[in-house]
Amino acid sequence: MSRLPSIVLCCGAFLAAASPATAQSYHIAKTFTLGGDGGWDYVALDTVGHRLFVARQDRVMVIDPASGKLLAEIPGLNRAHGVAFSYGTGKGFATSGGDSGVVVFDLKTLRVLGRTTAAVDADAVLFDPATKHIFTFNGDAGSSSVIDAASGQRIGSVDLGGKPEFGVTTGAGKLFANIEDSSEVVEIDAAAMKVTRRWKLAPCESPTGLAIDRAHGVLFSGCRSGVMAISDANTGKLITTVPIGQGVDAARFDPATQLAFASNGEGSITVIHEDAPDKFTVVGTVPTKRGARTMELDLKTHRIFTVTADFGPPPAPTADRPRPRPPVLPGTFALLELDP
């Protein structure tokens, strides 16, 4: 997820009650200014060490979410994207899309242990507990690289038949991934390392962030065409689509509240309630800040974390750059905490 989406002002209202039993009112409770140069991508929560890992261009920032303090930085990346954790081996894995690499680091000391090669444009990454393997999702290569979490070495590859964005695991041997250029979801047999099913998400276009309700087998695909495409993972069929904000890049699901979230670069988080496995209601739009397109959800506290910066006016359009991006103002990169 390397692109910064076009930015528009958010005009949503604060989150209304999700249901009579789970009234929510998400809002920005804290802002921690972190500064530093470079773009950003995924935010990942280390649930054991209680730390946030933020991919930051040439490094990964490690942050204490309670205080907003920068604890350390993991160097040696080229276009950093995502981070995954293998607690059984005590290792972390960070994708480095610019050089087709994965940096392996020690979860306790945060010391770099080595690196392995994935494939071109290594982007999203996850740990699958059933196989104890790391799976990267390689956009330009149209594949998923499989890495043994113990050795840190690549052991296989899955041809996905298109450009993948985010992926999720059921925890029981199946993975799912959004395919951006064909607007599909693919199902992957993690042990066999092969695609077993695929289905269309139309009218969704360019699916990016993906979340899963494991209990009910429901997938939430955030689409850059301004909808959340909701699928039945058991039947491999689209259930429905609901409207979300513009510039989505991440999705999350909270099983305790039955709320799904889409973080939108326009400066909002769309919140959707799963009324039933076949019925979904948009219950609110939470204002954040423009550029806050990725996020992480703490399932224990139900807090959401997102990152962004302040922007200056965009430069004048040119023939080569008809829609130039606005510049990031130095020193303004910040972590936002949203509380229910």
DSSP per residue, 83-144: EEEETTTTEEEEEEGGGTEEEEEETTT--EEEEEE--TTEEEEEEETTTTEEEEEETTTTEE
pTM: predicted TM-score of the whole model, two decimal places: 0.92
Residue 323 has what pLDDT? 84
What are the residues whose beta carbons fall under 8 Å from the beta carbon of 15, sequence distance 6 or more?
Answer: 24, 25, 26, 27, 271, 283, 284, 285, 286
Dist CA 280 CA 164 (whole Å): 25
| Closest alpha carbon to 286 in 260, 311, 309, 312 | 260
pLDDT at 18: 42
Per-residue tokens: 171: 């925890």
> What is the C-alpha to C-alpha distance for residues 64 and 241, in angstroms, rounded to an integer?
36
- Name, in order, each residue with C-beta under 8 angstroms of 269's C-beta and a sequence gap of 6 or more: 26, 245, 261, 262, 263, 285, 286, 288, 292, 295, 304, 306, 338
Cα 66 to Cα 53: distance, rounded to the nearest angstrom: 13
* Cα separation, 263 vs 248, whole angstroms: 5
pLDDT score for 23: 39
User: Which residues contact residue 334 at a Cβ distance below 8 angstroms, ignoring those fewer than 6 apart?
Assistant: 31, 32, 33, 34, 307, 308, 309
Largest CA distance in the chain: 54
H or E, element range at 279: strand 279-287
Q: How far is residue 213 from each of residues 22, 44, 298, measured CA to CA in Å? A: 17, 18, 15
Determine the topology of domain 37-200 in CATH: Methylamine Dehydrogenase; Chain H (2.130.10)
Q: Indicate the average pLDDT of the chain.
A: 93
- Which amino acid does the sequence have at 72? A
Q: What is the pLDDT of residue 274?
A: 97
C-alpha 73, offset from chain centre = 20
With a cut of 50, list the residues of the chain below it in pLDDT.
2-23
What's the pLDDT at 176? 98
Question: Residue for token digits 């680091």?
Answer: 105
Provide the 3-class DSSP secondary structure of residue 5: coil
Q: Is 88 exposed, middle or buried (0-12, 13-18, 19+ CB in 10 A)?
A: exposed
Predicted confidence at residue 117, as pLDDT, reads 97
C-alpha 172/C-alpha 137 separation (Å) is 19
Residues of the chain with CATH 2.130.10.10: 8-35+207-312+325-340, 37-200
CATH class of the domain comprising 8-35+207-312+325-340: mainly beta
